[in-house]
Amino acid sequence: MRRDRQKCAKDFRSDYATHTDFCEALTQDTNSLYLLAFLLTTNHEDAEHCFAATVEEVFKPATVFREWASRWIRRTLIIQAIMIVFDPNRHKQNADSWYSDEGESGLTIDATNSLADLDRFVFVMSVLERYSVHECSLFLGCSSGAVIQSRERALSSLASLTPAT
């Protein structure tokens, strides 16, 4: 009986993400993580800071299942972006353009960056990242009703700002 318990305990730990798993996920998702950071912070300097803080944070001891490593990194990045953008001592910087050679997708990114902070966060989190209204309200510290209203404002604004295809 004791051997069975030891075997179960050993197998149980093997399902958790290691530093190698986080490195692989970060390497594989670098471009999409930076884009997410840029969409949330609206400028390259803050996006770089957010990305670097995320990398630092994910290597702190945490118990995360291996198959959740990428999702955990994205979640951590969103939390870092919230801390940067909604910091009351932050000096608000102007939104940067994405990259001029990105064509229509660049215009869509720039339109997203023109949204008010809360509306942009709610749009990115609920529509692009597919967090629930409840999850968004917990992350952002606001009511579910405020999340729903922000999402409606963002979708309405984006419909009028983005190019029709």
Domain boundary among 33, 66, 93: 93
Q: Is there a contact between 73 and 33 (Cβ–Cβ < 8 Å)? A: yes
Q: Which of 74, 93, 112 is the last residue of a domain?
A: 93
Q: Work out the widest C-alpha separation in the chain, in whole angstroms.
A: 67
The reported pLDDT for the residue numbered 101 is 59
- Which has the higher per-residue pLDDT, 10 or 45? 45
Report the number of distinct structural domains present in the chain. Answer: 2
Whether residues 74 and 106 share a domain: the answer is no
Query: Do 127 and 144 share a domain, yes or no?
Result: yes
Domain that includes residue 23, residue range = 15-93
Q: Which of 2-11, 29-38, 55-64 has the highest average model confidence (pLDDT)?
A: 29-38
Domain CATH number, residue 131: 1.10.10.10
Domain boundary at 38, 64, 93, which? 93
**Does the residue 120 lie in any domain?**
yes
pLDDT band at 68 (very low <50, low <70, confident <90, very high): very high
More confident call, 98 vs 39: 39
Q: How far is CA 62 from the centre of its chain?
A: 18
> In this structure, is residue 5 part of a structural domain?
no
**57 plus 86 within the same structural domain:** yes
Asked whether residue 75 is domain-assigned, the answer is yes
The answer to whether residue 2 is domain-embedded is no
128 and 89 share one domain = no
| Residues 125 and 143 grouped into a single domain | yes
The rounded mean pLDDT for the chain is 88
Do 110 and 86 share a structural domain? no
Distance in angstroms (rounded) separating the CA atoms of residues 86 and 134: 19
Average pLDDT over residues 120-129: 97
Same domain, residue pair 19 and 89 = yes
Euclidean distance between the first and final Cα of the chain, in Å?
A: 65
For residue 103, pLDDT beyond 90? no
Q: What is the pLDDT of residue 73?
A: 96
Predicted TM-score (pTM) of this structure: 0.84
